[in-house]
Amino acid sequence: MYVTGMYCSIFIVFLALSGSAMSEEWSNARALGPGFLLQWRDDGDAIEMEITAPTAGWVGIGFGVGKTMANADLIIGGVRNGEPYLWDCHAQYNGPPTIDQEQNVDIISARENSTHTSIIVARSLTLDDNFDRTITNGDMTILWAFGNSDKEREWQNSDYHGRNRGAVEMVLLGNAEDPISKDIGSTTIFTLSIPATAKSTSPKLTRPNEQEPALPFVAILDEDTHVTLSWAFDSTTITMQIVAPTTGWIGLGFGRTVSMNGADIIMMGVKEDGAYVLDCHSDRNGVPDVDDEQNVEVVTGWENGTHTGVTIRRKRLTCNPDDMDVQLPSTYRVLWSYGEEDLKDHSPSSRYYHHRNRGGRSLQLIYPSEYKASAGNTGEESHIDLRGGDFRVPPVETYYSCKFVKLTEANETIYATGLQPIIKKENERNVHHMITYICDVDITEEQLQREYQCYQDIHPFSMGCNKLLGGWAVGSTGMRYPRKSGYRLGGLDHPQYVMIEMHYDNPEKKEFFDNSGMRLSFVREKPEVLSSIFDVSQTLPTIWVPPGAGRYRIGGHCREECVSKGMEKAGVSEVKVFGVFFHSHLAGRSMRLRHFRNGMELQAMARDEYYDFVYQETQYFEEPIILKRGDSLTLECDYSTANRKKVTTGGLPTTSEMCVAFIMHYPPMKMSTCGSRANIDDPKVFFELAAGLNISLKTTDFVRVANEMRGDFRNAMAIFARNVLDDIKWTDEKRKFAQDFTDNMTLHTTCLNQRELLMPFRDEFVLPRVNDYVEDQPICPGAGQGADDLEDSSVKIMSGLAAAMVILILGAAVAVTRKT
């Protein structure tokens, strides 16, 4: 009786607020929580709902898959400054919602007094939108929430719902009478004279005859205000929608940095007469210039009381020098901005200054949807979490942790389809990369229970764990193998154990606990093809970059004999490369994987001209690239040390450098690692380098440094830098000599299949010079040809692994060097 009486009192307030609520003849009503009322009716095709909550802020209702926000379809609205607003949105996790690219909910009316807010909304029961849940017969999970202030933007601390939220299992469709609704008829209704603030206030829309396109790729450009970019592409065009918290103009740009200088810029918005777009560019940090050629068209646009969304389309290759090509599966710097008012007369000026409403982030725009982290594979996928319990990360700047995990029983075979990161939220800033190595040896129960410091307590190479399964690095969403493909694990003749290598970057030198790891997706049914990975690299001890360098290049080489031997042992004459993952550290600026056949250079297999350490994604190709017996590969890495005072050398810490590319392919080759190292074990090399840099070195000092280098081969270059190179005054002339010296230094090349040395060392190889590059295709047409006549030859990319695998080559290098 007490509960019923309490809810009746609540309804008096609700009905007083609604005024005409009962005249709406709602078929059903239910109090979802203290002070929160849902009333509704349906006609078999659509549903109307009145949502009332004890707040003068926002109100929200959702349709969930569980009792949390994760993967929920949400409706949020309210009355702000006398004007209604409504968002059709969704949440991918328990956190800030994201506005849907399609707004499929109409707000019929909204009203508010000093204590309560009520909105009436309508939507179809079934919608052709991945983010909108179908409302069906039977039990559904209904989420409810409200905030104490109105939403100015998608997410802000001041409007967090706190404890004003909940979830209820209930039936929306059919004759589901709620006992509380029976009491409403006998309740006295007190009427407040509160006019409706809006009627039929659907978002403004500009929709051509064609339907709005499906945009499967979504990225949040700004976490604070939730500026969101959605996009799709085909062989010639890219379609993009940007949503921002403004009713004015929005800017979207593509640049080499996050600065406007040199950027391709698109300005857009929605006015009373529809959506507009302006194709611009900028050679400065200021008002952009309008392009002579307008190569962007509006697809659709909408605007509500708080947000604007515009969908645009342009060619991936416009052949206009003012437009950045979106051809390659590479990293792009995506810029965003917005202003408070719409452009007038299609003319940008200083009056439309964005103030602090601007930013930029790195994104890969071109990669096949089958490689998205959420993409499915053949058969029913299962999962194994590859991580141990919490362990103490020591208070040191760089720490590598290694753990063993058992995958299968001896007679069980599985096929890996992907790896996604599982990172403890409070440690996201410290987890630098994770690598999963396959072990070809049995691991004891005692070893399974331990945590090891990699390269101190144990070494993956010495433990027989040197075949890469996959991994993750900063900015990556994980990795996938192609549909109908997988990596074989387990069984009588295949590995049952893996080693997880965790690199912790801890500049604050704090002590913390962590249990992050990788989630392995797999199927039990054998796929059509099997996949594998090998890496190409320059070994760590031979990497060095002088300070003050704007651009400095080093490289590693995988020679043709290695590729042939790896294929010969696998019984194949060629493999299909479906993805490449590049990895370097903070000084890395660009990377390129060059491809040679029969003494001729082909188009680069992969490249990343704007490499970003905090956004490392695997490049997945639209069409696989063929690697044949007798082909060779050269990896080149460019670094910038403009703000550094000392020589940067190769090593495990983030402030040191790496140069590695992981090549994903099918069918498998019998090769796990392939690369080269500079000929630094010859003292004459260092003597020539010192002489060329005008360094005076006493004989006794030279002998001392040479002996120290010989005794600690893995840190040889670091020893030479510390004792010799850091003491000189670097000039442009000396940096040029160092680059020429590095370009012409002879290399040792080698390759391994796990612990087996495939080919003996080959000396005196010199990397091809940078000016030997083959021009990347496609090339814009000359007179008489249109861009549509070009064949699309671009390749695609996405996310991925990490990088200490370079040490595997190093291990072999040490072993062979000592034998000889």
Residues noted as catalytic: 400, 583
Strands 517-523 and 632-639: unpaired
Residue linked to tokens 């968002």:
87
Buried b or exposed e, range 90-114, using 16+ CB within 10 angstroms: bbbeeebbbbbbbbebbbbbbbbee
The helix-helix angle for 699-711 and 683-692 (nearest 10°) equals 130
Spatial separation of the C-alpha atoms in residues 200 and 88, rounded to whole Å: 16
Mapped onto helix, strand or coil, the DSSP state of residue 353 is coil
What is the DSSP track for 483-502? TTEEEEEESTTS--EEEEEE
Spatial separation of the C-alpha atoms in residues 556 and 537, rounded to whole Å: 5
CB 109 within 8 A of CB 198: yes
CB 226 within 8 A of CB 219: no
CB 608 within 8 A of CB 645: no
In this structure, the number of other CB atoms found within 10 A of the CB of residue 785 comes to 11
Q: CA quadruple 61, 65, 68, 74: dihedral positive or negative?
A: negative
Residue linked to tokens 């080693």:
499
Spatial separation of the C-alpha atoms in residues 713 and 711, rounded to whole Å: 6
The two three-digit tokens of residue 677, written as one number: 């190292």
- 195's CB contacts (< 8 A; 6+ apart) are 111
Whose CA is closest to 535, among 668, 661, 676, 666? 661
Whose CA is closest to 697, among 687, 709, 685, 707? 687
CB 554 within 8 A of CB 545: yes
Name the β-bridge partners of 439.
Answer: 465, 497
Angle 632-636-639 (CA atoms, 0-180°, nearest 5)? 170
Mapped onto helix, strand or coil, the DSSP state of residue 633 is strand
Quote the strand ranges of 476-587, DSSP E. Answer: 479-480, 485-490, 497-505, 512-514, 517-523, 529-530, 532-538, 544-545, 552-558, 574-583
The two three-digit tokens of residue 340, written as one number: 């408070």
What is the DSSP track for 38-91? EEEEE-SSEEEEEEEES-SS-EEEEEESSSSSTTEEEEEEEEETTEEEEEEEEE
Spatial separation of the C-alpha atoms in residues 480 and 578, rounded to whole Å: 11
In this structure, the number of other CB atoms found within 10 A of the CB of residue 195 comes to 6
- 443's CB contacts (< 8 A; 6+ apart) are 404, 406, 497
The two three-digit tokens of residue 72, written as one number: 């929920």
Name the β-bridge partners of 85.
Answer: 78
The helix/strand count (H/E) of the chain reads as 9, 52
Mapped onto helix, strand or coil, the DSSP state of residue 227 is strand
Strands 532-538 and 673-678: parallel
Mapped onto helix, strand or coil, the DSSP state of residue 453 is strand
Nearest-Å Rg of the Cα atoms of the chain is: 31
